Structure 1
């Protein structure tokens, strides 16, 4: 690591303004009100890097959680990694990420996730593809579900806290879902310019079985109903969700929503008219291997042992041989073992999340393992396709 960079927290008003200016240039004002965004996330959650006392870049850390195998694992999201253009290529971004990861390890954080602008930078510090973020679209007139078993209750005024408990019920059962940072909730219910925003409980106010938050807007090619967030906990709620959307067909041309790459909601549609509009993959890093493996849940019927040999160029404590023993849905890690599955810390991420099977990672040349180890890892990390509904 080059010694010329100085890493610190964000404190002084002039630094906040300077970082806001860098973000504005990096993200082409994509954040909308950079200083307001910094204050929303909390000044204390930003990290900055200087060269010769000049502030040249920074990032945000969002402490939250992620659900793996039905258990919440603490995870820090990394957002808005920005370096002033005249300092790009100097190694500043890598130094900033290295310092941040060392700090997260010292704080005992097991996992970190981010959305990459370029994968190369983050792979160099141990991140790899972890799961999907997908936008779906369907023509409203093709939904064709009319039966609506549950009532819909408008939520006015819209206060995100009334949705938290329902959201957590769905999150617990959804591989990769976030235990959201408060700032993600805040931004979720902020309508964009020229958008009208609506919220409904699906079911009765006393016992809702889901909810839907959406906005409506017109584009040159027609009107769009954009679902910003949804929770569906029962079959009746799923049926009601679609029939409610179908009832908009006289005015709304398209419905858009976020879901998994393999969306089970679309199973209710009479034909395969829903299309994946766009998709990208977020990246995950195991910051503390022992904690990450011990804190998540595993399939309850499995009793197995996996002998790992891990290489981590940044965090020394993650290096070497480990035995993961899984029983009764929980894992225990001890040092040592035969090292039958050899891999870089990067490649542990898509195994951990079930994005790729160990077999496919071996075919891609990303790991080496004995047949026994590949088989054990496949059983231990079996899970549904991981996804996140939120971009951060």
Structure 2
């Protein structure tokens, strides 16, 4: 696909281009070429896209094909990662062209949504992404946990067999807006040891019917030894209590426990004192690629039967422009063209509403949408739900 007089867009076509892209991304992100080969194999060469100038690779990115949970439904999603442009081509519009062509390809394939972590919001807002969810790094001093509940057993398992965790994870993830319906590459990121670290994995509860799991590593910094929780799922209160006891049992050597969760993490609710703190937070972004399809794939509150008349503006995809009627019944939506268009917003604002990151009132207050009071109320009931977050980074 030709995108300018000098640049064209496509897949990796040979081993030389794969090596060039690896060198470029290694320079962009400060990783080693050894890590590049692992990354290339994990994601799959067919899932990389690049732009060339003649035989020179100017930039590239990776696409994770997976799903994301909203309203209890898994929506097909393209995760964009490792967007890198050669330093001498930055500021030329090459990154915009790369993203534009990638999104056009995904749109033609019928992918409803795309998600990414942004190094800069300016670029991704230009192509229709907007803030959509949160990833927070929590930390707690081990000595303050004060939990001693060993009712449930814990037994160690080999983390390379990630299938043993998938069902437990899915039961937790499907109730949480923004959690991924993970593909194999995401799971491999979790269960394969980084650098020289060892990974420890445990199931919680009976072997025949576990109630949770934890995957962790240990590392050191200026604060001392850290217990890093790479992944977790707890389906019962007893499993959560056993997890905190497990963490507390490291107190003789481990100074701090770290994990990733939501801005308001219910996992901290059983703690005796409020000693857990957020040390870092970042917002990921989402792009609605196909407005009708995305709205129909999402889940909605079961008890609500209503219509929302939207008017959407999209600068990149003509098919997303115009008036749509979202009819919701028994938790599912149906989208048809037409309607009064009394709920008016840009596709970027729709992303923040779609995930439930911001309420319609908040978006209207910031000038992101314009609506009648009645339509605003209906939208508020349709897109209410848990604050969107994910523990994964890609």
TM-score bucket of the superposed structures, by smaller chain = over 0.9
Change (3 A) 1:50 1:347: same
Q: Any residues of structure 2 matched to 1:333-348 within 5 Å, and which?
A: 333-348=335-350
Change (3 A) 1:157 1:362: closer
Match of 1:130 in 2: 132
Q: 1:361 aligns with which of 357, 360, 363?
A: 363
Cα offsets for 1:37-58 (capped at 9, x unmatched): 1122100000111124422011
Cα offsets for 1:6-32 (capped at 9, x unmatched): 111112100000000110111011786
Aligned residue for 1:346, secondary structure, equals helix
Equivalent residues, number: 392
Change (3 A) 1:236 1:351: same
Maintained 8 Å contact 2:360/2:380: yes
Maintained 8 Å contact 2:129/2:287: yes
Q: Distance in 1 between matches of 2:159 and 2:52?
A: 44
| Aligned CA-pair RMSD | 1.3
1:288 aligns with 2:280: no
Match of 1:391 in 2: 393
- Post-superposition shift, 1:303? 1.3
Maintained 8 Å contact 1:196/1:217: no
Aligned residue for 2:199, secondary structure, equals strand
Match of 2:72 in 1: 70
Q: Distance in 1 between matches of 2:90 and 2:219?
A: 38
- Post-superposition shift, 1:375? 0.9
Cα offsets for 1:252-285 (capped at 9, x unmatched): 1100001111100000001110000100000000
Q: 2:187 aligns with which of 185, 188, 192?
A: 185
Cα offsets for 1:129-148 (capped at 9, x unmatched): 01001110000111101122
Q: Any residues of structure 2 matched to 1:34-73 within 5 Å, and which?
A: 34-73=36-75
Q: Distance in 1 between matches of 2:111 and 2:168?
A: 26
Maintained 8 Å contact 2:159/2:215: no
Q: Distance in 2 between matches of 1:220 and 1:195?
A: 18
* More off after superposition, 236-245 vs 121-130: 236-245
Please, which runs of 5 or more residues in structure 2 have no aligned partner? none
Q: Any residues of structure 2 matched to 1:1-392 within 5 Å, and which?
A: 2-29=4-31, 33-156=35-158, 158-392=160-394
* More off after superposition, 104-113 vs 153-162: 153-162
- Post-superposition shift, 1:2? 4.2
Q: Distance in 2 between matches of 1:31 and 1:64?
A: 26
Please, which runs of 5 or more residues in structure 1 have no aligned partner? none
Q: Distance in 2 between matches of 1:129 and 1:279?
A: 13
Q: Distance in 2 between matches of 1:333 and 1:186?
A: 37
Moved over 3 A (4+): 1-4
Q: Distance in 2 between matches of 1:345 and 1:175?
A: 19
Maintained 8 Å contact 1:11/1:44: no
Maintained 8 Å contact 1:158/1:199: no
Change (3 A) 1:83 1:157: closer
Cα offsets for 1:31-88 (capped at 9, x unmatched): 8621331122100000111124422011111100001111111001000001101001
* More off after superposition, 221-230 vs 149-158: 149-158
- Post-superposition shift, 1:237? 0.6
Change (3 A) 1:10 1:234: same
Aligned residue for 1:196, secondary structure, equals coil
Q: Distance in 1 between matches of 2:61 and 2:305?
A: 41
Aligned residue for 2:304, secondary structure, equals coil
Maintained 8 Å contact 1:354/1:385: yes
Aligned residue for 1:265, secondary structure, equals helix
